[in-house]
Structure 1
C-alpha cells in the first residue's frame, strides 16, 4: 500500500486505529530509563504511540509517509509536543535518539530491513530499539492482520535484518494479543492474534 492509499484510508474523521498506545509499546516503554529522552516513532501513522510517549515526557519525532495521517496526528495530539515529519521509513535518517519504535510496519523483506536498520542506526549507544509487528504465524494460528505472508515477519527475521550491528537482546519472540471479533449474534468474542516483539539495546 503506497502513501496515496494510506492518505485515503486516513481521510475519514474518525481515527483508523485506537487513540490508545499499542499495549506492547506501553508495557515496554513505561519507566524506560533510556537516555537521552528523545524518541522516534517510525511509520507513526496517526501518532497514537508518539502522542503517548510525548505525554510520558519524551521528546518525540513521528515519521510517516502519509501527510494525512500526520495531520490527523497533529489534531489528536492536543498539547502533547511531537515533531511531525513527512518521510518514508525506508529512506529516513536520524541520529541521537534514546528510543526507536517501529509498530506494525508490514513491508516485504528488503524494505522492512531498510526501515529496521534506519531505526536502529538512529539510536545512541545504550538506546532502545522496539519493534512490534504481525507475526508470520498469525496467518494460520491467529486472527486478523495482513493475509499476505510476504509482509509478515518473525522475531528471527528482524534480528537477521540487523546482522552486523552491535546490540543486546532484551526480548525477541512471539507474543499474544486478544482481539474482539464480531460473532453471528451481533456480539463479540475474543480471539488471539500473534505478534512478534523485538526489544534490543544498542551497544
Structure 2
C-alpha cells in the first residue's frame, strides 16, 4: 500500500466535498470494505424490524471471509491499517440554505477497538463506532446494497464504476454518461486517453458487469 496524503476536493456549483487524509494516509476503496460490511449487517437488521446501534461488533475472521480476503497474519495487519485510515480520514462539506452556508467536518468512523484473546495476539473481535453521518444514512435507509461479488473486483476503478452504476442505474436496464463526466465522478487523475483505454478494457470483460447493465458513451 502506497501512502496517499493528497487532499481531494470536489465541487458542484456552490457545494463542495473535501477529503483530508491523516498522516497514515487516505482511506482507500478497499478500506471501505469494512464500512460496507458493517452497513450490510445493520441494513439486514433494519429490514428485519430489529433495533440497531451506532456501535457494531463483529468477528475479524467473518469480515475477512465476507469481503473475499485472506485470513493470514498479513490480512489481520491490513485490517488494523484500514481501520486506522478510516478513523483518520476527515470529510468536510458545506450545505447552503438560502443565504447561509454551514461547513461541517466529520470522520468516516468515530472509533475502533480490537479485542485479542490469545497470548500470540490473535485478533478475535472488532468493535467500531460509526460516525453520526454514516449511522444517520443507515437509519434513514439512504445507503445502497451491493452484490457480494462486488468484493471480487480488485481494482479501485472497477469498484468505483460499479458503485456509480449501482447508484444511477438502480432497477433500470442501462445508464448513460459521457466519459469526461465519468472521469470526474471517479476522481481519476489519469489523462483522458489513458482513462478511455482503461474503461474500454473493462468493457471487454463481460464478468465485470455482473448483475449490472452499464452503458458508457465514450465521447
Instruction: Give the TM-score of the pair, scaled to structure 2.
Output: 0.28
- Please tell me whether Structure 1 or Structure 2 has the larger radius of gyration of its CA atoms: 2
Q: Which structure: greater strand fraction?
A: 1
Q: Which structure: greater helix fraction?
A: 2
